[in-house]
Amino acid sequence: MKIFVFTDLEGCSGVCRFDQARRDGPRYEEGRRLLMGDIRACVDGLAAAGAEEIIVRDGHGAPYNLIPGRMDPRARYIVGPWAGRPLGGLEPDCDALVLLGHHAMAGTPDGLLCHTQSDRDGRRYWYNGRETGEIGQEALVAGHFDIPVILVTGDDAACREARDFLGHATGSGPVTVSVKTGLEREGGILLAPDAAHELIRAGATEAVSRLDHCDPYTIACPIAGRLQVMDKDFADRYDCEKNRATRIDDLTFEATFDSQRDVLSYLI
């Protein structure tokens, strides 16, 4: 079994402020260490369940957040943009996707550090009319390759969003592991990272055993995509040609995707 772990930083245990997640933030090094703790717990749980091949993809910001000295040797690690590759290196023969350290979409009232793609400009995305955050976007790309999401970790709101998009009334869908509860965008109730790591480890092991209960996420294609931004000046600078987008009004852009694979390739 080959598992692709796509990491983010805002949903990691102990992370509750953007200055832990931004490269220029005074607490960024702390954020990196917290990320590595969650990754180590996840790799440990996946390996304990028998995963033979584990690929960890640094998925946050400029993707050089990983600390080599803290890498578990049972995984291999992809850093750097590697633009043009789905999810920066997802291999089509992966059996499953893990979304580690994730956060809820922009505008989620109890979403700790919530945002979609940009933590500064408030942008929001819809596909076929459904507002979708990063969890859904990444699940769509993987779904194109018939790869299901088996585990999502983050705050309560991220876990709820994962179940809304990827779960089913029958009880199938990914394992979700909440490591904190948002009370406001930069505040909430944190589990101690050591306690969170126990939950992540157990969740990763359970997720492997539930692979058969997880379906790839698919929606009807072609996909009608919409991007809404907050600021007209930003919209005026947006590169429609590069993003294959049509401007609909002051703040809204649309594009059509022939394939789920492309939802993070343009209109971003």
Interface region with Zn ion, contact rule CB under 5 A, candidates 6-14, 69-77, 124-132, 165-173: 6-14
Q: Residue 201 Cβ, how far from Zn ion at the closest point, in Å?
A: 22
Considering the rule CB under 5 A, would residue 134 count as an interface residue with Zn ion?
Answer: no
Q: Which is nearer to Zn ion, 62 or 192 (CB)?
A: 62
Distance CA 156, CA 160 (A): 6
Q: Which is nearer to Zn ion, 23 or 168 (CB)?
A: 23
Q: Residue 114 Cβ, how far from Zn ion at the closest point, in Å?
A: 11
Handedness of CA 212, 99, 174, 256 (dihedral sign): negative
The C-alpha torsion from 74 through 79 and 83 to 86, rounded to 10°, is 30
Interface region with Zn ion, contact rule CB under 5 A, candidates 7-15, 82-90, 122-130, 197-205: 7-15
Distance CA 181, CA 104 (A): 11
Q: Residue 7 Cβ, how far from Zn ion at the closest point, in Å?
A: 9
Site mask for Zn ion (CB under 5 A), range 28-67, x = bound: --------------------------------x-------
> Binding residue for Zn ion (CB under 5 A) from 4, 5, 8, 245?
8
Q: Residue 52 Cβ, how far from Zn ion at the closest point, in Å?
A: 28
Q: Residue 22 Cβ, how far from Zn ion at the closest point, in Å?
A: 9
190-210 CB burial, b ≥16 within 10 A, e <16: bbebeebbebbbebbbebbeb
Strands 252-257 and 223-228: antiparallel
Q: Residue 9 Cβ, how far from Zn ion at the closest point, in Å?
A: 5
Residue 15 CB partners (closer than 8 Å, separation 6+):
9, 21, 31, 34, 35, 101, 113
**Residue whose beta carbon is closest to Zn ion:** 60
Residue count, binding to Zn ion (CB under 5 A): 4
Q: Residue 134 Cβ, how far from Zn ion at the closest point, in Å?
A: 8
Q: Which is nearer to Zn ion, 40 or 102 (CB)?
A: 102
Q: Which is nearer to Zn ion, 60 or 144 (CB)?
A: 60
State phi, psi for 19 to the nearest 5 degrees. -75, -5
Distance CA 35, CA 38 (A): 5
- Interacting residues with Zn ion (CB under 5 A): 8-10, 60
